[in-house]
Structure 1
Amino acid sequence: MQPLSTRTEHFTDSVIRRMTRVSAKYGAINLSQGYPDFNPPSAILDHLAEVSHENFHQYSITWGAQNFREALAEKQSRLMGRQIDPNTEIVTTCGSTEAMMAAMMTVANPGDKVIVFSPFYENYGADTILSGAEPIYVPLHPPLFNFNVVELEAAFRQHPKALILCNPSNPCGKVFTRAELELIADMAEKYDTYVITDEVYEHIVYAPYQHTYFATLPGMWQRTISCSSLSKTYSITSWRLGYTIAPPEITDRIKKVHDFLTVGAAAPLQEAVIPGLRFGQEYYNDLLATYTRKRDLFVEGLDAIGLQHTVPQGAYYILMDISEFGFDSDLEFCEVLARDVGVGAVPGSSFFREPVNHLIRFHFAKRDETLCAALNRLETIRKKIPARK
């Protein structure tokens, strides 16, 4: 028989999702895959119940139901400071995962190069390869995960077609400053490069840091595809509602790619989430206050145990340093952690292009009692996982 695709021969399954299965296998508290264990807002759930008995069970318009796109445009226009056209500048996708894939396939030709900051959400490398493009990895340097301007421009000198910008960043929680974004914008203009943003954590940015939409920078609207989803903002990760926002000429192409990738996102869920899109600023203030408290609770708990870790500027992830335990493989450590301590994490090596094996990722999008239970188990970590010589 003929060989299968060479594009996918070196793919593994998602390590993040694999660690959820490992957590389930050992009955561990799952702090690996980033989804909440608490309910979405009641206004959304109540509307979902109503929608289930109404006529929303067939295909909506391929690129998104009209009233969903109008509500989304109203929300994002307010946040981004420009009037977004729901008909010509928005495509509703099956989660931000599809949004990123559709954006990449819209922009990149086989053989093109795409800049990816490292560490990165694991899909970005796969998206690039599936598009036939070649990733150029630019390191973000700890502890603050800042980029080196010389290294970044060296990547731009290879004349990439696009740069992927996750802001706030998963897994390291970095929030790019306006000055950093302006440097990226200057290079994107100089080297004629598109920028594909992943902004799913746009509402989870801790003081004193602030989120800046890349598309709002001078001259960047025309070369930016803004990707996001409603998963994290409204705690509905399984609903798979994402979107792209881009100029009409780019959006027109994304519509065609999206149509043949997935046809359309779930019509009942698009309708059900509309009350959430119309929440006032108080909701987003409360959301940030909730995650700020959870971050502080988890950080202080790790500090009390004496475990070294990052403190995120945004999103809801923490990278913990496991150097003291002497493991050569962070994947093995995470398996042992789930089995013997009862807490699930993601090996950091799945996010880095560089040979990083001393970090693991926890998330804290859990009820306070879940986080406390995880911390109680982590108190036993040195007893249950003795350091290797």
Structure 2
Amino acid sequence: MFESKLPNLAVSIFSQMSALAQQYSAINLSQGFPEFDAPALLKKQLNYYVQQGLNQYSPSSGVPRLQQQIAALASRKYGADIDADSQVTITSGATEALFVAIQSIVRAHDEVIVFDPAYDSYQPAIALAGGKSVHVALQAPHYSIDWQAVRQAISAKTRAIIINTPHNPSGKILQQQDIQALKELVSVHGLYVISDEVYEHITFDGKPHLSMLRDAELLASSFVIASFGKTFHSTGWKMGYCIAPAALAAEFRKIHQYVTFSSFTPAQHALADMLAQQSDHIEQLSGFYQQKRDLLASHLANSRFKVLPSQGSYFLLLDYSAVSDLTDVEFCQWLVAQAGIAAIPLSVFYHDGAGKHDKVIRLCFAKHDATLIEAAQILCQL
């Protein structure tokens, strides 16, 4: 009889809620993708390079001029001294990069610290590497890391810590005291860091993104994962990258070459042009999304929902405890069927479903203003 390697996994909640949104013709604020289009220059250049015939394999580690633009961006944003050729690897989306990074360092019986609520790809990738996820819960409503709990969770088998900042789903960003605590643990225990920074350019209220790239000591033990899809409203292109020290990047590339070998060639050239010619898009991204966060929050001010703080990403959490006694999964199912709004229950981001007691749901505000206003008007009626 066939035995699954991932027996406890089924269709993701994101696919389920998007299907329900389609079934009920609901406003889909569940899955995290932008409602608006990619920049005109990016689309124009993609078409240009397709027409120019750049449609074959690119080098497995990436098109050199895109690697160089990424290294320049890391220097400009974070003061990082990155060697494009040996440290930057282009991947088919950030999820591939996360998977490959985990496979590069996690061995049988190794333990990896994961902070719940967590992006759903972490645990399966760790399991497929033969490792074990050790979950440390972030508590509502602030979702700050309890570093004493992390210290207690570390054992002789601990190999790595997965960091996600800005955090999906809470919108929390790391502070300097978090970086100091992380550095201490990495140094004392010889740990690796897998840093999921796909929302790196989306932070609010003047707060900086504290990338692992800012700190040479942390970078020496880190895989830093980023996403062009989040930055350039092009999630369907599945383009991301990993920056790591040369020795770790070499291990990463050994596995990457057998996962996708190389990523979408004409898109790599188009992205290089975008970074070179319209870098202001990145600089404007925080303001663009802060306006949307504030718009949605302001239109929910008179609702019975409690809006939790979002410091980054394009997600907003709502506490619905004054609206319903249903569990968060039940509430989201009711919400899409009866109110025409698709959201994500936060408990699905916890390995044990613990978040269901918090009565919190996640909304994606990467949508047109009219969509957000219409959704808020419906939610205010509940």
TM-score with structure 2 setting the length: 0.95
Answer yes or no: is the 8 Å Cα contact 1:234–1:276 preserved in 2.
no
Aligned mate of 2:265, from 264, 267, 283: 267
- Contact 1:95–1:240 (Cα < 8 Å) also in 2: yes
Shift of 1:293: 0.6
* 1:68 maps to 2:69: no
| Alignment counterpart, residue 301 of structure 1, candidates 287, 299, 304 | 299
Alignment partners' CA distance in 2, 1:196 and 1:337: 35
Question: Quick one: distance in 2 between partners of 1:326 and 1:367?
Answer: 28
Q: In the alignment, is the contact (CA less than 8 A) between 1:44 and 1:274 conserved in 2? A: no
Alignment of 1:177-326 (within 5 A): 177-279=175-277, 282-326=280-324
Paired AA for residue 368 in structure 2: R
C-alpha separation between the residues in 2 aligned to 1:193 and 1:347? 32
1:327, distance to aligned residue in structure 2 (A):
4.1
Q: Which residue of 1 aligns with 2:377?
A: 376
Q: Distance in 1 between matches of 2:33 and 2:199?
A: 12
Give the corresponding residue for 1:170: 168
Q: For 1:282 and 1:3, locate their aligned partners in 2 and report how far apart those are by CA, in whole Å.
A: 52
1:146, CA displacement in angstroms?
1.2
SS of 1:324's partner is coil
Contact 1:159 1:193 in 2 (8 A): no
Provide the C-alpha distance between the structure 2 equivalents of 1:219 and 1:156, rounded to a whole number of angstroms.
Answer: 20
1:107-155 per-position Cα deviation (integer Å, ceiling 9, x unaligned): 1001100000111111112221122110111122232211222211111
In the other structure, the counterpart of 2:15 is 17
Q: Give the unaligned 5+ runs of structure 1.
A: 383-389
1:350 is aligned to 348
What is the Cα deviation at residue 243 of structure 1?
0.8
Q: Give the alignment partner of residue 87 of structure 2, picking from 65, 86, 89.
A: 89
Amino acid at match of 1:320: L
Shift of 1:324: 3.1
1:101 positional shift: 0.2
Q: CA contact under 8 A between 1:194 and 1:224: conserved in structure 2?
A: yes
Q: CA deviation at 1:215?
A: 3.6
Cα offset, 1:346, TM superposition: 0.8
> How far 1:313 sits from its partner (Å)?
0.6
CA positional deviation for 1:322: 2.3
Give the 3-state SS of the residue equivalent to 2:306 in structure 1: coil
- Structure 1 residue 315: Cα displacement: 0.5
Q: In the alignment, residue 154 of structure 1 is paired with which amino acid?
A: Q
CA distance in 2, matches of 1:25, 1:269: 33
Answer yes or no: is 1:364 the counterpart of 2:365.
yes
Asked if the contact 1:337–1:344 (Cα under 8 Å) also holds between the matched residues in 2, the reply is yes
Give the whole-Å Cα distance in 1 for the aligned partners of 2:379 and 2:178.
Answer: 36
Q: Which amino acid aligns with 2:3?
A: L
Distance in 1 separating the partners of 2:133 and 2:3: 22
Distance 1:325 1:123 in 2: 31
Contact residue 165 and residue 197 of structure 2 kept, 8 A: yes
Per the TM alignment, residue 218 of structure 1 is displaced from its structure 2 partner at its CA by 4.7
Give 1:360's aligned amino acid: I
Partners of 2:374 and 2:32 in 1: CA distance: 17
- Deviations for 1:257-292, whole angstroms, at most 9, x for unmatched residues? 011111221111111222222256632332211111
For the residue of structure 2 that corresponds to 1:238, the secondary structure is: helix
Report the identity percentage. Answer: 30
Residue type of the alignment partner of 1:33: Q
Contact 1:231-1:241 at 8 Å conserved across structures: yes
Unaligned runs of 5+ in 2: none
Q: Helix, strand or coil: the match of 2:82? A: coil
Q: Which moved more, 1:360-369 or 1:70-79?
A: 70-79
Q: Which amino acid aligns with 1:35?
A: F
What corresponds to 2:140 in structure 1? Answer: 142
Figure out how many residues of one structure are paired with residues of the other and give that number.
Answer: 379
Moved more, 326-335 or 240-249: 326-335
RMSD: 1.6
Instruction: Tell me what 1:387 maps to.
Output: none
Give the TM-score normalised by structure 1. Answer: 0.93
Letter in 2 for 1:371: L
Paired with 1:322 and 1:74, the residues of 2 have a C-alpha distance of 44
Output the CA distance in 2 between the equivalents of 1:115 and 1:258: 23
**Partner SS, residue 84 of structure 1:** coil
What corresponds to 1:98 in structure 2?
96
Amino acid at match of 1:319: L
